Structure 1
Amino acid sequence: MKVIITVLSILSLSACQNNKTQSIASNDVKPQDSIQNIGGQTDEHGCYIAAGYTWSQLKNDCIRLFEDGIALENLNTTDTYHTAAYLIIDSLQKKAEIFVPSSHESILLTQQNDSTFSNGTFLLAKENFCWTISMKNTKLYQERK
């Protein structure tokens, strides 16, 4: 009788451990999926705003700019508060996406040459190994050296 109980105990413990291993090993879970259980406000694309997610047109997915983007500092020192712009570059698509505080949506730029992207209004240029966002010949944001 003790042998049967021992075998059944071992089988039940190993079954629980297998279920945990399978759920942890699943590669289909995105970081944002775990936030769904918490709740919170989402934007029109389903990105969880409170968790820092925003929609990227370039990646066609919800991203965290502070994790996936390049931060550029505000060059206008007269502002009483500091805001940053963010940048994502996709060299395969030959596009850049900028996220500036004055725009509700990100802005796509097309590559002009190795170090320049533009959409006619905004210009993204690499100067001295740092990215700079300009508008109408006025530098607005620059990557920290």
Structure 2
Amino acid sequence: MKYVAITLISFLLFSCQPAGQKDTSKDNSSSLPPIGGSKDKHGCLVSAGYTWSKLKEECVRPWEGTITMNITDTSTNFETAAFVLIDSIKQKAELFIKEEDESVLLDSLAPHLYANKDYQLIEKDHCWSLIHEEDILYEEKK
């Protein structure tokens, strides 16, 4: 009977831990990177393909809900697409291209023409083309 009582008391003493007490000796969560990967300066989750959109002022995946254009010269490039987002009132277009570190905004100059000092985005025959220094870099294929 003594053995049963000692075993029961030992079990109760060692199995219960006060509710507010936490064993921090094994907690390495502060030294681990955040789940899901790194974020850019705007808080966009880069590893999930998100980047900052200047037009929408939020994180977006450039290939979702945009115009996709294919690169015209594939001999020297491994990235094969560019993406264009046009605002709902068609006053600005935003380019997501490998040639730039961040997205590029273009202003509407005429129907089917957006431009800035470096790029022109033109729609002809229902297909978009991106021009830089008179060279067509990307074209939409339908």
State TM-score, norm by structure 1: 0.70
Question: Structure 2 vs 1, CA of residues 134 and 58 (structure 1 numbering), >3 Å: closer, same or farther?
Answer: same
What is residue 137 of structure 1 aligned with on the other side? 134
Using the TM superposition, name which of 53-62 and 77-86 deviates more: 77-86
Q: Distance in 2 between matches of 1:54 and 1:126?
A: 25
**Partner residue of 1:98 out of 82, 91, 95:** 95
Question: Structure 2 vs 1, CA of residues 98 and 110 (structure 1 numbering), >3 Å: closer, same or farther?
Answer: same
Q: Distance in 1 between matches of 2:50 and 2:79?
A: 20
Mapping of residues 1-145 of structure 1, within 5 Å:
38-79=35-76, 81-92=78-89, 94-145=91-142
* Bigger radius of gyration among the two: 2
State TM-score, norm by structure 2: 0.72
What is residue 26 of structure 1 aligned with on the other side? none
In the alignment, structure 1 segments of 5+ residues that lack a partner are 1-36
| Superposed CA RMSD | 1.5
What is residue 8 of structure 1 aligned with on the other side? none
Q: Distance in 1 between matches of 2:36 and 2:77?
A: 33
In the alignment of these two chains, the number of paired residues is 109
Q: Distance in 1 between matches of 2:75 and 2:131?
A: 17
Q: For the Cα contact (< 8 Å) 1:130–1:144, is it kept in 2? A: yes
Q: For the Cα contact (< 8 Å) 2:79–2:98, is it kept in 1? A: no
The percentage of counterpart residues that share the same residue type is 39
Report the residue type matching 2:54 in the other structure: Q
- Can you list the C-alpha shifts for 1:53-88, whole angstroms capped at 9, x where unaligned? 110001000001111221110001322524211100
Q: Distance in 2 between matches of 1:143 and 1:84?
A: 9
| Higher-helix-fraction structure | 1
In the alignment, structure 2 segments of 5+ residues that lack a partner are 1-33
